[in-house]
Every structure is written in C-alpha cells, then in structure tokens.
Structure 1
C-alpha cells in the first residue's frame, strides 16, 4: 500500500531542487525509493552530487535521517518508512 512521506532537503540539495521539502507517495516504502524519486527530478550533475555513481548509493555524499535517526543505525537504504515519516537529506562535504 502506498505511503506518503515528507523529504526535507538541506544545503546544496535544497539549491539543486529549488525546494525546501518534497512530499512523495511511495509504492515500495523504503528510503531507497524516496532517494531515487528525488534523484529523478535533478539534473545529471546534481544527481551525481546526491547519489555516488560508482556505488549507486547516496551515503558517501549525504547523511540520510528517518525521523531523526541516521539510516546506518536502521536498515540502511532498505529502511521501511511509514505514513507521515520524515526523511532528511543533509549534504556532506569532504576532501582530501
């Protein structure tokens, strides 16, 4: 059954999307589906800033929280979300 979740976008993700948050209806209610739906709305360059193209994973580039908990302490991208949950995407900058 589809669920509605709110995704809050911070930093460059907010700039790239032009939105503070996005409401999504998810058929497979997982963090992975939410991130993929957000990525579909971005340009190719912006999408690479969200999802690492080699790993096909947002975690090198973003902290992903579900209801305030980082997904690595949950079930990662396969973390299930429920009606009304909030996902937050926080960009991570790092260098060498």
Structure 2
C-alpha cells in the first residue's frame, strides 16, 4: 500500500533527517495505524525509537494527522488506512 508520511517539530531527526517519505508498506494483518507505527519503528526510525513510540503508540506530545484530520477523530490506533493516504507526525515537545 502506497502512503506518504511527513515529520515536523524535530521528529524528522529520528528518521534520518527526512521530512517526507513515500512508503510502499505490506501490512501483516489489517492496514491500520497500529500496524503502521510498528512497521515505521522497525523499518524507518534511525535512532532513539523510544522518542517516537511508548509501548504500542506514539509518545505523548506527538500529534498525528491522517489526511489532515486528527487521528483521534479517525479511530487512533484502529484508524483504517487507504491507498494514497497522507499521515503527518508533529512533535509539540521542545527542550528549554
């Protein structure tokens, strides 16, 4: 399944400095966000996966949008993904 993922707010540093990545993912079970997150952790994160995920979901402070809609409106981890979807991850956490 072809998807596009985007990173901002510093998250791109965990993904080799890439802000946009075109993916072609083969899901093991269903094409849902929980499967995508595990796939991304195992295949895309280049450093510190603990800063991206906590347990089986994204860490608190990371906004997730699916086709410009908050993933909480789409079903969070159970949100179904379709061919061509755009998933955006935005970190709201900043050091000081």
Question: Which TM-score tier does this pair reach, normalised by the shorter chain?
Answer: 0.7 to 0.9
By percentage of residues, which structure has more helix? Answer: 1
- CA distance, structure 1, for counterparts of residue 36 and residue 56 of structure 2: 14
Query: How many residue pairs were aligned?
Result: 90
Q: C-alpha displacement at 1:43, in angstroms?
A: 4.4
Instruction: Report SS of the residue matched to 1:9.
Output: strand
**TM-score of the aligned structures, taking structure 1 as reference length:** 0.79
Q: Flag as ranges the 4+ runs of structure 1 deviating above 6 A.
A: none
Structure 1 residues 19-75: Cα deviation after superposition (integer angstroms, max 9, x where no partner): 11122223232112222222123245x2111101xx421051411110011111111
1:31 maps to 2:33:
yes
Root mean square deviation of aligned Cα: 2.0
Instruction: Structure 2: state its 5+ residue gaps.
Output: none
Q: C-alpha displacement at 1:11, in angstroms?
A: 2.2
- CA distance, structure 2, for counterparts of residue 61 and residue 47 of structure 1: 15
Cα pair 1:11 1:90 within 8 Å, conserved? yes
Q: 2:12 aligns with which of 8, 11, 14?
A: 14
Instruction: Structure 1: state its 5+ residue gaps.
Output: none
Q: For residues 75-94 of structure 1, what are the structure 2 equivalents within 5 Å?
A: 75-93=75-93
Instruction: Name 1:71's counterpart in structure 2.
Output: 71
Instruction: Report SS of the residue matched to 1:48.
Output: helix
